[in-house]
Amino acid sequence: MTVTASTASGQLFLWPLVALSLVGCAASANAAGSQSDFETAYAAADAAEQEAGHLRNRWTVTETALAGARKAAGEGDFDRARDMAREAEALAKASVFQAKSEKEAWKNLEIR
């Protein structure tokens, strides 16, 4: 579901305040869509998600992407599975970055 950032009839809809880094992006399309590509991509994504878990800051969309990757791999579609795993890795790393940057950043919103 998306949140449309729009102002309607004077009420201020909520603006998503996002400044995150997306580390890594879809690799070039011509890589051989072999299973091993998927497995390396999935391992990286899983490692990043583990770290997010340690920081108690996982995202639902990361888990959905990981599940999608597993499902695609199960159906033998290793191209799609690899891309989804890379997507998951990017999301997991973003959530890790968010947790680390918020370690201090939360203070500037605090009511004083």
Partner 1 sequence: MRSWQVFWPISILPAIAALMVLSVPQAFADDPPDPAAEAKAFRDYFIHKFSDVKLENFVNGPYSLNEGMRRQWQEIEQFPPYEFSLEKGKELFARPFTNGKNYGDCFPNHGIGIRQNYPYFDTKAGEVVTLELALNDCRKANGEPAISYLGDDMAALTAYMAFTSRGKPFDIKIPDDPRALDAYRNGKRYFYTRRGQLNFSCATCHVQYPGERLRAEVLAPALGILNAMPIYRSEWGSMGTISRRFATCNSQTRGVPLEPQSQEYRDLEYYLSYVSNGLPISGPGARP
Partner 2 sequence: MSNLRESLSVTRRLILEGAASIALVGLGAISFPIPTALAAANDRYPEAAFKQKDFNEAIKLLYGRIAEQADKIKLDAPEIAENGAVVPVSVTTTLDDVTSISFVVPENPNPLAAYYRLPPGTMPSVANRLKMAKTSNVIAIVEAGGKLYSTSREVKVTIGGCGG
Q: Which positions lie near partner 1, rule CB under 8 A?
A: 2-3, 11-14, 16-23, 56-61, 63-65, 68, 84, 87, 90-91, 94-95, 97-107, 109-112
Tokens of 54: 């340690």
The candidate with the shortest Cα–Cα distance to 41, out of 74, 88, 75, is 88
Least distance in Å: CB of 84 to partner 1? 6
18 binds partner 2, rule: CB under 8 A = no
Instruction: Determine the residue type at 61.
Output: V
> What is the Cα–Cα distance from 107 to 112, expressed in whole angstroms?
10
Q: Closest distance between partner 1 and the C-beta of residue 77, in Å?
A: 14
Question: Using CA of residue 73, residue 75, residue 78, residue 79, what is the dihedral sign?
Answer: negative
**Tokens encoding 94:** 């973003």
**CB nearer partner 1, residue 37 or residue 86:** 86
Q: Which stretch binds partner 2 (CB under 8 A): 1-9, 47-55, 66-74, 83-91?
A: 1-9
CB of 58 to partner 2, least distance (A): 15
